[in-house]
Every structure is written in structure tokens, then in C-alpha cells.
Amino acid sequence: MAKKPVPDASRRSDRSRRAIYDAALALVGEVGYPRTTIEGIAAHAGVGKQTIYRWWASKADVLLEAFLDLGERTAREAGQEAYDLPDTGDLAADLKHVLRATVDELRDPRFEVPARALAAEGLVNPQLGAEVVAHLLEPQLQRYVQRLRTAQQAGAVRPDIDPRIALELFVSPVAQRWLQRTGPLTHAYTDTLVDYALHGLAPR
């Protein structure tokens, strides 16, 4: 008689990883970054803290990976490719589509609560702030750079525009309203930002 199959080690790892990601996001949202510890994450996830130290060097590393995983899952659920902006040939429509999806994600409590705790710490902790920008924020912004470059080749954006600055005209207002709660974050609002940015405030 054959022995019972040994549980697949990689699947078991995947389950532990997912439990650790979920625990890290829940904990940072509950108690903030400074009071989040590897021990606390381990206890929440029901694993030993050595399991966490085997895979990650610090709580910052766990959290950054947990956010990357959350972003990928959210994008998959929304039927999006993780790393490309749509290119239907209509720049305004493509930007509005992506910014509406971004608003939906920013307003989703699964994302908002832990992301706000991480962002708050990034403001006063330059090392963590730099990691958040390099690993979570800038890769998102580079998707807009690529889409604006394609638009320049198609003649929809002026050739002398710097795409890395241009994207801030519609991305940064969303970031500020989300970070500082300076106004409502709606689809109508992000549609308006795209129209203003593409056509300008001055009469044509």
C-alpha cells in the first residue's frame, strides 16, 4: 500500500506566505507601522517567527511584498494586466479608465487602511519612504510614462513634454486627495483632471 502523499511543500509555503501577507497588512492597519513587529505578524498569521525570518530580513520587506501581492491580486480581480496601461488609441479614454480603477482601489478598505499606515510612516522615515517609492509607487508611475510616450509617437501629446512630469498633473491630485483628504475622490473628478491636463486651462 502506497504511503499517504506528503503535502506539497511549495503549496504549503504559498499558504503560509498568504497568511503572513494578510497578517502584516491587517496589523499595520490596526496598530500603525512603528508598533508592527515580526513577532506580532507571526502571531496573527499562526506561524513561528523563524518562518518569517527565513524569507524576509525585516518587517519593511514583509510589508512591501504584501502590498505588491495585494496590488497584483486586485489587478487580476479587475481583469487588468498588472504592468500595462490600456492602449486603445484614445489617450483620454485610457487614462480615465485607469484612474477610475485607481480610485476604486484607493477607496477599498482592504487597501486603504494598511496603505495609509505605510504612507504615514514613509513621510517621517526616509529609508522606508524611499523603499515605498522605489518598489510600489514608481513602477506604477512608469506605466503612465510608457503610455504617454506612445501618445507622443501617435501625435496626441506634444513632443517636448517630459512624460515623467506630465503624469503628475493627473496622478498627484489623486494622491493628495487620498493622502490628505482634501476633497472627494470620484470618477467624475478623475475624468475632469484628465480633460484639464490634456487640453490645458488656457483658452485654445
What totals of helices (H) and strands (E) does the chain contain, helices first? 11, 0
> Cβ distance 80 to 101 under 8 Å?
yes
Among 23, 132, 144, 185, binds its own copies (CB under 8 A): 132
Cα distance between residue 177 and residue 201, in whole Å: 20
Q: Which residues contact 126 (CB under 8 A, 6 or more apart)?
A: none
> Cβ distance 9 to 16 under 8 Å?
no
Among 93, 176, 186, 187, binds its own copies (CB under 8 A): 176
> Cβ distance 112 to 106 under 8 Å?
yes
Dihedral through CA 69, CA 71, CA 72, CA 77, nearest 10?
120
Considering beta carbons, is residue 68 or 141 the nearer one to its own copies?
141
> Cβ distance 43 to 33 under 8 Å?
no
Is 186 a binding residue for its own copies by CB under 8 A? The answer is no
Mark residues 87-116: x for contact with its own copies by CB under 8 A, - for none: -----------------------------x
Q: Least distance from C-beta 29 to its own copies, angstroms?
A: 9
Q: Least distance from C-beta 69 to its own copies, angstroms?
A: 21
Handedness of CA 144, 179, 69, 72 (dihedral sign): negative
Q: What are phi and psi of 202, to 5 degrees?
A: -75, 150
Among 129, 145, 147, 185, binds its own copies (CB under 8 A): 129
Considering beta carbons, is residue 93 or 124 the nearer one to its own copies?
124
- Single out the segment in contact with its own copies by CB under 8 A; choices: 49-57, 59-67, 71-79, 120-128: 120-128
Name which of 66, 92, 82 is nearest 140 in CA terms. 82
Is 183 a binding residue for its own copies by CB under 8 A? The answer is yes
Q: Binding to its own copies (CB under 8 A): which residues in 17-56?
A: 32
- Specify the amino acid at residue 88: T
Is 158 a binding residue for its own copies by CB under 8 A? The answer is yes
Among 13, 58, 182, 186, binds its own copies (CB under 8 A): 182
Name the site residues for its own copies (rule: CB under 8 A).
32, 116-117, 119-124, 126, 129-130, 132-133, 137-138, 141, 148, 155-158, 161-162, 164-166, 168-173, 175-177, 179-183, 189, 192-193, 196-204
